[in-house]
Amino acid sequence: MYNLPPLFRCLNITLFATILVAFSIGFFGSGAFAYEDRGVLIFNSRKLNEGVRIGATCHNLLEATAVLRSTKAINVASTRALPFRFSVDRQLNDYELVRCSRKDAGDWAFDYEYNYTIGVPSTAQTVDYVYSLPYSKTKQFRVSQSYFGKFSHYKGSINEYAIDFTMPEGTEILASRPGVVVSCKDESKIGGPTREFIDKQNFVVVKHGDGTYASYDHLKPGGLLVRIGQKVNAGTPIGLSGNTGMSQSPHLHLCIYRVKNEYTLFTIPFRTRTSKGVVAQLKEGETY
């Protein structure tokens, strides 16, 4: 196990998220500079005299599982063996992960990439918990995509057990279960139906007491109603619906998930309390 400060809980096993990111950049000769914001965990690279320093910053993020790896390393010495897997348990600012430098005289080359997911691995799940609908009891909305939906919830995907509710932008979204806000984002202003927008959604992620997470996605810009670390109850307003990220039209995407590793999450089926009673699955095309 890596001996880092409490800021990181480092793991020896492969560890994933609702937000799934992969980014790669290369350094050749004496190095280069890059900065890339791909959501709420930001990796940055700074040029040194004979190498590069790679750091990480958490923006509105309390829990994440990540991996940093090299895709090319020629004549390179590094301060930490790669791939480097770690989990984050609090916010951080430009925390140094590794330094890579020229090992011997001559040309050198270094490429890296990273993946991360919001949350940490858990096998727990309260299977008998009944979730509330994520909006006011005075409102009703149509389920546009349910489990195994053909657009983006197809069987075998990370969203196979997710639910989409068609609703106007600005609809108040309520927490469906008590928990703690571990990640949120509301600065994105773009969206569209193709994969180029897949990491552009605004969202709120709430961690439940059994280690599962709820992700409320596609919120409107500036639509957060909670802060990082805030405890919420079922029915607490957490955001305003929108149309950001990979989205065909204004709607709310809700899923309950567990983390497997830095690449993979498992969405899980959940029961919901409705005006029609407790249902095991909200059905596509029906209004609740």
What is the full DSSP assignment across 155-169? TTSTTTT-EEEE--T
What burial class does residue 210 get, using C-beta atoms within 10 Å of its C-beta: 0-12 exposed, 13-18 middle, 19+ buried?
middle
Length of the chain: 288
Q: What distance in Å separates the CA atoms of residue 272 and residue 269, rounded to the nearest whole number? A: 10
pLDDT at residue 136 greater than cutoff 80: yes
Q: Which helix (H) or strand (E) holds 192?
A: strand 191-192
Q: pLDDT tens digits for 8-39?
A: 333 322 222 233 333 333 333 323 323 334 46
Of the chain, the percentage scoring pLDDT greater than 70 comes to 85
Cβ-contact 144, 263 below 8 angstroms: no
Q: What distance in Å separates the CA atoms of residue 217 and residue 203, rounded to the nearest whole number? A: 4
pLDDT value for 40: 82
* Triad 115, 265, 257: Cα angle to 5°: 135
Copy the structure tokens of residue 259. Answer: 């983390």
**Domains of the chain listed by start with CATH number:** 8-118 (2.60.40), 130-279 (2.70.70.10)
Q: pLDDT-derived band of residue 149, with 50, 70 and 90 as boundaries?
A: low
Q: What distance in Å separates the CA atoms of residue 272 and residue 179, rounded to the nearest whole number? A: 17
Phi-psi region of 148 (alpha: psi -120 to 50; beta: other; left: phi over 0): left
Q: pLDDT tens digits for 228-249?
A: 999 999 999 999 999 998 888 8
Q: pLDDT tens digits for 181-238?
A: 999 999 999 888 888 888 889 999 999 999 999 999 999 999 999 999 999 999 999 9
Tell me what the pLDDT averaged over the chain comes to: 83
pTM (2 d.p.): 0.84
Q: Which amino acid is at 98?
A: V
